[in-house]
Structure 1
Amino acid sequence: MASSIIFVTLALVAAASVPASVMGTDFMVGDDKGWTLNFDYQTWAGGKQFYVGDRLVFKYPESVHNVLKVNGTGFQQCAAPVGTVPLATGNDVIPLLAPGRKWYICGVGKHCAIGMKLVITVLPKTESPAPAPVAGEASAAGGSIAPRYCASIMAVFGIIAMVMV
């Protein structure tokens, strides 16, 4: 019992210390407008950089729209290849797993033809350089432990001490 509590505690501390840059960004397609008609998705995407590991979130009223992943030709012609399975939950999450161009359209009626389509370029995941050490943080040559980690370490030892008593 005590070992499982310690394991869970260590797992939680480890998860909390993972930098946000390791996890991808969720992009709500269309921001607060969502996946809808009368919205310029190319302008929306224009100011953003998408990386492998990010996710696109398509929100829309279920049964009103859908999302189809297509190729460049399908994007231009507003036509999905035969057998393409539409996403249609109204809260579709698409992980960006590989770099390159990605094309998405709405396959309902003439929605794509009147502009309900999105093309993005996904960039390879790049490791950002480690930030310069701040006073009190460990450097590559050694030094003190960063204060943010001290609290986590102390919490783990406190929990272990309570469990062992």
Structure 2
Amino acid sequence: MATTRRMFCFVLVMVLMGCCCSAKIYKVGDSKGWTAKHGTYYDWAKRKEFQVGDSLMFQYDGNVNDVTQVSSRLEYQFCNSLSPKAVYNTGHDVVTLTEPGYHFFITSNHSQCVAGQKLVVLVVHDHPIPPPPPPRKIFPFGKDYKVGDSNEWRVPEESDFYSKWSEEKQFHVGDNLLFYYNDQVDDVLEINSNLEFKSCETTSPVAVHNAGQDLIRLTKPGVRYFITSKIGHCEAGLKLRVEVRPLSKSVPKKMQLSPFDRFINWLHESFRPHPHH
């Protein structure tokens, strides 16, 4: 009897853990594994949403490669493995994503890294364990907009593509813009003015984003301008203007009186005695 009870408790705990934990394990590159393939890991990562608690599984030949986690975009872009955050070299490494933000991985084999063996992932959410009660909603809005939808952020076939894309939507404070693009080809520059936007002026940007997966939060009302610094691309239409509206406040309507109540009020006002002067 005691054995049966212990077995039941064990099964119950496992079921509860399975219900509460939804972390995923992603095999990097799928069937290709971790090897030098230009553009492979950009395409692989952009189709996924990574969350805190998820894990990346790297499979490769440990005699030729390793997995080097670096801290910055510059180290990632220039394949600089001199000051790694962590190094894995077993040939079968599982790396758990423990915090939100960007995570950069390269190989210390410089020629392999330059040939495309590097990965950046954007961790955007947490797995709630267990799921907390839904928080009180502060903002009535908070939508995520993937810029360009299926076209993403790249030189469009029609120069007014992003203008039309933006005009079809209503952006509010609290919404997010998600830029997906090939970081070897383009970037995202936020600029100050309509004049800079029209002339594709890149000398004084407000912010520069170049990770290939950039989440930009719209924090205040007004007009926001985004272009690319790549020569000829902005002029060809790779630029975006969004008008951010303030949060709409629901104004309570005045209580509507029924015709009978209005009649009673009229009688009350009409026959109420007034003081004589």
How many residue pairs were aligned? 129
| Residue type of the alignment partner of 1:105 | I
The answer to whether the 8 Å contact 1:70/1:81 transfers is: no
Q: Distance in 2 between matches of 1:25 and 1:86?
A: 22
Whose strand proportion is higher, 1 or 2? 2
Instruction: Quote how far apart the aligned CAs of 1:20 are.
Output: 5.0
Normalized per residue, the structure richer in helix is 1
Aligned equivalent of 1:61: 61
Q: 1:31 — aligned with what?
A: 30
Is structure 2 residue 70 aligned with structure 1 residue 70? yes
Higher relative contact order (CA 8 A, sep 6+): 1
Question: 1: distance between equivalents of 2:83 and 2:37?
Answer: 27
Residues 21/30 of structure 1: CA separation in 2 closer, same or farther (3 Å cut) = farther
**Which amino acid in structure 2 is aligned with residue 13 of structure 1?**
L
Find the aligned partners of 1:82 and 1:129 in 2 and give their Cα distance.
38
Give % identity: 29
| Cross-structure match for 1:113 | 114
Alignment of 1:1-150 (within 5 A): 3=2, 6-19=5-18, 22-39=21-38, 40-71=40-71, 72-82=73-83, 85-127=86-128
Q: TM-score scaled by structure 2?
A: 0.42
Question: Which SS does the other structure have where 2:57 is aligned?
Answer: strand
Change over 3 Å in CA distance of 1:106–1:20 after alignment to 2? farther
Alpha-carbon spacing, 1:122–1:77, altered in 2? closer, same or farther (3 Å): same
Task: Give the structure 1 partner of residue 247 of structure 2.
Answer: none
Instruction: Kindly report structure 1 stretches of 4+ aligned residues shifted beyond 6 Å.
Output: none
Kept in 1, the 8 Å contact 2:70–2:81? The answer is: yes
Unaligned runs of 5+ in 2: 134-277
SS in structure 2 at match of 1:107: coil
Residue 120 of structure 1 and its aligned partner are, at CA, apart by 0.8
For normalisation by structure 1, the TM-score amounts to 0.68
SS of 2:23's partner is coil
1:67 is displaced (CA, Å) by: 0.3
- Give the C-alpha shift of residue 38 in structure 1: 1.7
Structure 1 residues 129 and 47: CA distance shift in structure 2, 3 A: farther
Larger radius of gyration: 2
> Structure 1 residues 4, 123: CA separation in 2 closer, same or farther (over 3 Å shift)?
farther
Change (3 A) 1:24 1:6: same
Distance 1:31 1:21 in 2: 26
